[in-house]
């Protein structure tokens, strides 16, 4: 008998200024006691109107979610929390950096190489 899923991963993305991404983790099949997979959200690094940018600029996620930033531009970039509590090394095209957000709050970040590139991660309770 095929497994029925309680829910499936759902990612809604809107690219552009002020867009948000919501992610819901995949649930275990009915009748099976498996832990939920960790939720993942994606942010691309690209170009908008000739300027490098984090796309989407703002995401809203649940605590415990891992955000993966993938560089889709032709330059090196970093992902650095505004108060430098966490930062990536500079990474190039098709490379990624990830960070797991465990505490609710609003996190502002910037590319240390291109100070005009900013983004926001809003973390809600689980």
Q: Helix, strand, or coil here: 95?
A: coil
Q: How far apart are CA 75 and CA 91, in angstroms?
A: 8
Question: Tell me, what's the pLDDT at 12?
Answer: 27
Q: For residue 59, is it within any domain?
A: yes
> How many domains does one find in the chain?
1
Question: Tell me, what's the pLDDT at 9?
Answer: 28
| Pair type for strands 40-48 and 65-71 | parallel
Tokens representing residue 74 in the block: 């032709």
List of the chain residues with pLDDT < 70: 1-38
Question: Tell me, what's the pLDDT at 50?
Answer: 94
Q: What residue numbers bound the domain in which 30 lies? A: 10-124
Q: For residue 25, is it within any domain?
A: yes
Question: Tell me, what's the pLDDT at 37?
Answer: 59
Question: Tell me, what's the pLDDT at 38?
Answer: 64
Which CATH number do you get for residue 27?
A: 2.60.40.420
Q: For residue 5, is it within any domain?
A: no
Q: For residue 54, is it within any domain?
A: yes
DSSP 6-73: S---EEEE--STT--EEEEPPPPBTT---PPPPPEEEEEEEEETTEEEEESSEEEEETTEEEEEEE-S
Q: For residue 109, is it within any domain?
A: yes
Q: For residue 3, is it within any domain?
A: no
Q: For residue 1, is it within any domain?
A: no
Q: For residue 96, is it within any domain?
A: yes
DSSP 74-90: SS-B--EETTSSSBPPP
Tokens representing residue 9 in the block: 């991963």
């Amino acid at each position: 008998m095929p497994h029925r899923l309680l829910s499936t991963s759902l990612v809604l993305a809107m690219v552009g200024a002020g867009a948000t991404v919501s992610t819901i983790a995949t649930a275990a099949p009915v009748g099976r006691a498996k832990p939920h997979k960790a939720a993942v959200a994606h942010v691309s690094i690209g170009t908008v109107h000739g300027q490098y940018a984090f796309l989407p600029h703002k995401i809203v996620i649940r605590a415990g979610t891992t955000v993966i930033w993938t560089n889709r531009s032709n330059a090196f970039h970093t992902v650095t929390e505004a108060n430098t509590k966490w930062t990536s090394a500079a990474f190039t095209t098709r490379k990624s950096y990830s960070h797991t957000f465990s505490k609710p709050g609003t996190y502002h970040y910037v590319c240390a190489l291109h100070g005009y590139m900013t983004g926001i991660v809003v973390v809600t309770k689980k």
